[in-house]
Structure 1
Amino acid sequence: MRLFTAESMELHEIYCYQRLMISLTGEERASVEGKLINLISDTVEKDPTKWGGYVARPLNFVDSPDSPFYQMLKDGVQNELDYLIEQQNIDGAWYPNWEWPTYKDTWEKVKLELAGKITVDVLQTLKRFGRI
């Protein structure tokens, strides 16, 4: 399995192994989790000033305080929760931090739909971590 031979891994590939880990038990799970700890630690961007770009952030790997990777990323998770709160728009929503370079008219409509999804996701995350 590539997981055990890779020295680094792209964010989305790590997600796949995280999902696999959840389905495993015993020694298999422990083995996968041990390797993921190293990969996640090396992949996650710890500098909040870079979180506006397309980088792996702590909450990409931790969905609640019960996550197996929470303790390892606890400080980063708390910093990212603060960051999310700071990013809330004056209208109460969170908007995408990217845009389409083409199809400007379509983008304006899609941006509002995405803002709805992003806002719900952020609010659910803040609730799971006791911030609201």
Structure 2
Amino acid sequence: MGMGNPSAEIIGLLHHYKGLVPTEFLDDVTQYAIDYVNHLNKFEHHELLSFLKLSEKLPDKQYNLMSNKLREMVKACVTDAPEKWDSYCLQPIQVVNSPRSEYYDLFADIIPMNLNYLVTKQTKDGYWEPTWVLGTI
């Protein structure tokens, strides 16, 4: 895993509480994150999720510096093949939370199927089984 997980999400929290964070420090770590993400050529979905959290807190000017790369990452990291959803993967609904979502257009055709999948996988007690197994020590 790279710098983005969880650093990008933490930088997003610093933006949320920016009144408590020295401006120069916040600008420096934000620029570092923007430079980092824009130079990525291998994508990992945990890192993407951290950068998406950061992007929600950024001013438009800074968000615009990374929006194209985030879109590229979303396309590469989200699993839109229903037959793979039983494995540990990033599903469309994990990056698209409403029709107004930034990435809705990428998955509009598959979102209803993904929602159906989630409904069918919910247990009678209201929870979902994980798609991964803890390793042994």
Aligned residues: 103
Q: Equivalences for 1:2-13 in 2 at 5 Å?
A: 2-13=36-47
Measured against aligned partners, the alpha-carbon deviations of 1:62-106 in whole angstroms (never above 9, x if no partner) come to: 22222211222222322210111222335554333344466xxxx
What amino acid does structure 2 have at the position aligned with 1:77? I
Q: 2:98 aligns with which of 59, 64, 70?
A: 64
Q: 1:76 aligns with which of 101, 110, 113?
A: 110
Greater RCO structure (CA 8 Å; 6+ sep) = 2
Q: Equivalences for 1:41-56 in 2 at 5 Å?
A: 41-56=75-90
2:109 alignment partner, SS class:
helix
- Structure 1 residues 80 and 2: CA distance shift in structure 2, 3 A: same
Are the equivalent residues in 2 in contact too, given 1:8–1:43 (CA < 8 A)? Answer: no
Runs of 4+ more than 6 Å apart = none
- Structure 1 residues 31 and 81: CA distance shift in structure 2, 3 A: same
* Identical aligned residues as a percent: 28
Q: Which runs of 5+ in 2 are unaligned?
A: 1-34
Q: Root-mean-square deviation (CA), in Å? A: 2.2
Are the equivalent residues in 2 in contact too, given 1:46–1:76 (CA < 8 A)? Answer: yes
Q: Which runs of 5+ in 1 are unaligned?
A: 103-132
Q: Equivalences for 1:65-104 in 2 at 5 Å?
A: 65-90=99-124, 93-100=127-134
Instruction: Tell me which residue corresponds to 1:22.
Output: 56
**Shift of residue 55, structure 1, vs aligned partner:** 1.1
1:75 alignment partner, SS class:
coil
Relative to the length of structure 1, the TM-score reads: 0.66
1:7 alignment partner, SS class:
coil
